[in-house]
Amino acid sequence: MTRKITRRSFIKGLSVAGLGVTSAQLLAACAPAAPAPSAAPDAAGSGAAPAATDVVLRIQVAPEAGQSVMPTIMAQRYQDESGVEVIIEETIYGEIETKTQTGFISNTLQDLTYGHHRWLFINYLKGIYLDIDDLMAADPLPDFEDMYPSIMAGNSLDGKNFSVPGVVHPGGNIAISYNITMLDEKGLPHPEIGWTMQEWEELARAAADTENGIFGMGMDGMNSFHYYSNTARSFGDPGSRDSWVMNEDGTEFIFNTPLHEEIGNWYVNILNDRVAPRKPDYIENAPGNIFVAGFMATHASTVGNVANFLNRIDGAFEMDAVPLPIGPEGRQGTCYSGNQHMINSKTANPEQAYELLKMYSSGEAGILMVLEGKLQPNGHKSAWTDAAVNEVNKMYGITDQLLSAGIEPFPMPRNTRFTEANNAFLNDIDLVWEGQSTWAEQAPIIVEKVQAVLDLDRP
């Protein structure tokens, strides 16, 4: 979908999408800043809207789940302030990885693009994204010192910067939402910050009721590297990286070890005992829907999903959330993943693209992502700790402590072939989780297949 930005079409689109934003709020957000009262117009009559330029910027956005809201608001503001024409072009999120690569080859790719760690680094090596280090040196990103260092480091490759943080996830399973009403009815304690994996399991087993279809816990994405890693990294010694799925430089897959076998069998036992659901139990292919429907006591997901659950539950039961538990030896599992904004290396207008990229990277943008887009913040501490943001979801302020301490990086192969390696992992680990094979049988096969991908050259 391609469209130019107009206030009327933008507001109408958000209304149809049901994002809960009023016309007055949007007009205020999209309106150009008023000139300072003391500023006098010059001979040419400054103070009026800037003259249109010949520059046109095309922006790639994903329309789902509010991902296009902040980019559209900021693009409207930039167009009003600069006279640069900005065109928002929607691309289905699941198609962005492929369409970014094909669009670059065919010279039809947008000036600003959207991405995820899964394909971020491999696209940079293919020359798709513009290196922005020189631009940052000449004209730094706004409030750069307010950004979490581990986030900027987690978006760079070999010391090169080519993106700014969009949606930031300190972990795919970093937030445990829990059904207060269910726990109180069963006379069970509430989870607390600093609780342990053992306490989570004990609570989940006590809450589960197989005969009535009640599960004690659920987790998102345990068949993906970054979701599994978030949970696995709560195990092992706090000073070690034994619970990582790859070594530090991403050249060796270290999955078939006693520690990972312990983690895997721990989860399999929970699944076998019907404390956690398997795929046939999911509602519309998502374990989180079981929690929202009131048939699960606790559920692990992204911190942003806490607000999503609150909205969907809409008072049907009382809920709250705490961070993912620490492991047996006191380790707190984190795993960075997220979305980013990049400049197409072939853009004809890099300076103007960078000006808009700076706006997307700002702390204000991070706040808008929560208050208007109903997402979660970008890489700015000020956004995660903002009072209005934490009125939406107090877990943002709680999770700030993990971000400030520094979260562990995305599990990226050295050759950046994440999608290939993850697909090899996913296809076989599901056999274990679904009870079709054992860890002992499948782990050597998984290692062989994933290591074969890791041994390939960089593109």
pLDDT at 298 (0 to 100): 98
Q: How many CB atoms lie within 10 A of CB 211?
A: 6
For the chain, what's the residue count?
Answer: 459
Question: What are the structural domains, with CATH classification, of the chain?
Answer: 2-170+338-405 (3.40.190.10), 175-335+413-454 (3.40.190.10)
Q: Distance from CA of residue 267 to its chain's centroid? A: 24
Strand order in 215-219's β-sheet?
215-219, 296-301, 175-179, 319-323
pTM for the full predicted model: 0.87
376 token code pair: 């979660």
**pLDDT tens, position by position, 270-282:** 999 999 999 999 9
Per-residue pLDDT of the chain (459 residues; tens, 9 = 90+): 454 544 334 333 333 333 333 333 333 334 333 333 333 333 334 455 677 789 999 999 999 989 999 999 999 999 999 999 999 999 999 999 999 999 999 999 999 999 999 999 999 999 999 999 999 999 999 999 999 999 999 999 999 999 999 999 999 999 999 999 999 999 999 999 999 999 999 999 999 999 999 999 999 989 999 999 999 999 999 999 999 999 999 999 999 999 999 999 999 999 999 999 999 999 999 999 999 999 999 999 999 999 999 999 999 999 999 999 999 999 999 999 999 999 999 999 999 999 999 999 999 999 999 999 999 999 999 999 999 999 999 999 999 999 999 999 999 999 999 999 999 999 899 999 999 999 999 999 999 999 999 999 999
Strand order in 112-116's β-sheet?
2-4, 85-90, 56-61, 112-116, 337-343, 164-169
Q: Is residue 245 exposed (0-12), middle (13-18) or buried (19+ Cβ within 10 Å)?
A: buried
**pLDDT tens, position by position, 202-228:** 999 999 999 999 999 999 989 999 999
Q: Helix, strand, coil % (nearest 5) of the chain?
A: 45, 15, 40
Q: Kindly list the distances between the CA atom of residue 282 and the CA atoms of 154, 200, 269, 428, in Å, as whole numbers in the listed order.
A: 32, 21, 18, 20
